[in-house]
Every structure is written in structure tokens, then in C-alpha cells.
Amino acid sequence: MIPYEDEGFLSPLSTNRNIEMEVDEMFYMEVRTEGVDQRQFATVLDSCWATPVNHPSYPVRWDLITSNCPNPQDGTVEVIQNGVSTVARFSFRMFTFTNHTEIFLHCSVNLCLLRNNNCTAHCYPGHHNRFRRDISYHDSAAMSIGPLVIRAQQNTGALIQRNGAPGLLTSIVTLIVSLLMTRILAN
């Protein structure tokens, strides 16, 4: 997983140190498969999600990509390239979890055999499910990156926040995450 600072995927961010981001800042991610014949295989992002700790199975999570498509509940996620080559790319606006200053990204990735297969998903607005297709996955892997450290801001409102129209979604997500954290801490 390679994070980038630009939408052209020209300037990779250094992963030798913590990656610092601000809430609502665009974040660009590339997942690249190396060591395979790029004429025969495509990299397919099956799912990507964020957690407030470095544990992919942590119960508090926010889905970014599900079933190869952007999470319909998060209008900031864009799947830029998926299932067409050995490189998959997506972007989203940075957020954070309540009472946490870091997030970790996790992805479940498949290799799709290109011969006789259409490895791209058909994601339609308002329809979360993919177009049904016959695909042949050759291999799969899970990967993680982080922490992405959220820089402190002057605004002290809800810690999961985004500017503009998604404000209502932000409030709902803040409430849900807060309730989940309360339930986890109570157990």
C-alpha cells in the first residue's frame, strides 16, 4: 500500500515516519501487485476499511470500499482504478474516530485472472451490489498501513467531521462510533 499526496499519484508520502493528515484532507492510496505478469492478472480491491487501532478485526471500523465499490454511506470515497491492471487506486477525505488521533487502513485484495474474465466491478449510485459476473481469483491477501496521525485543529467539535453537505452523516457516524466505543469499554 502506497499513500500519495496528490490525485495524479506522482508524489508518494514517506512511510518511514507517521503520516500526518488533517480532517477533510484528501488522501490517495495505491495498492500495487508486483512479481506477476500484468498482462494476465489484475489487482482487485475487495474491501478497504479504517480502524482506530492497528488491528484489522477491531470491532470499531469505518468501511471505505465494500464488494469492490465505494461505501455508499461515505460520499467522499472514490475508487479510481480497480481490476484493470496490477495497480488499484482509491481516495477519500480524511476523518478520525472519537477519542482517537490515529487511524489505520486495511485492505483485502485479490488477484484476478484477466483471461476470459471481466475483473472490474460495476458500481452504480444507489446500488451497492456489483453487477454479477464470473471471475476467477488466483490469490488473495490482506494488508494494512498506519498510523495516519490526525493533526490537531482549532475546531473542537465532533472528532469525526467533514465539511459541507455530509455534515448529517458526520453526526450520525459520530453517534454510532461513540455508542460502539461505550459498548466496548463497558464489556
Summarised one tens digit per residue, pLDDT across range 124-142 is 765 444 444 445 566 778 8
Find the CATH number of the domain harbouring 25.
Answer: 2.60.40.4100
Distances in Å between the alpha carbon of 185 and those of 37, 96, 97, 159? 47, 18, 15, 18
pLDDT in tens, 170-187: 333 333 334 344 344 444
Give residue 116's region: left, alpha or beta (phi > 0; psi -120 to 50).
Answer: left
For the chain, the domain total comes to: 1
Question: What's the pLDDT at 181?
Answer: 40
Residue 93 has pLDDT above 70, yes or no: yes
Q: Which pLDDT score is estimated for 153?
A: 63
State yes or no: pLDDT of 55 exceeds 80.
yes
Sheet containing 62-66: give its strands across. 19-21, 137-150, 102-113, 41-51, 62-66, 69-70
Q: Name the pTM for this structure.
A: 0.75
Q: Inform me whether the pLDDT recorded for 164 exceeds 70.
A: no
Looking at residue 97, its pLDDT comes to 95
Task: Report the pLDDT value the prediction gives residue 166, as an integer from 0 to 100.
Answer: 38
Secondary structure class of 1 (helix, strand, coil): coil
| Domain span at 104 | 2-186
**Residue range 44-70: average pLDDT?**
95
% of the chain residues with pLDDT over 90: 55
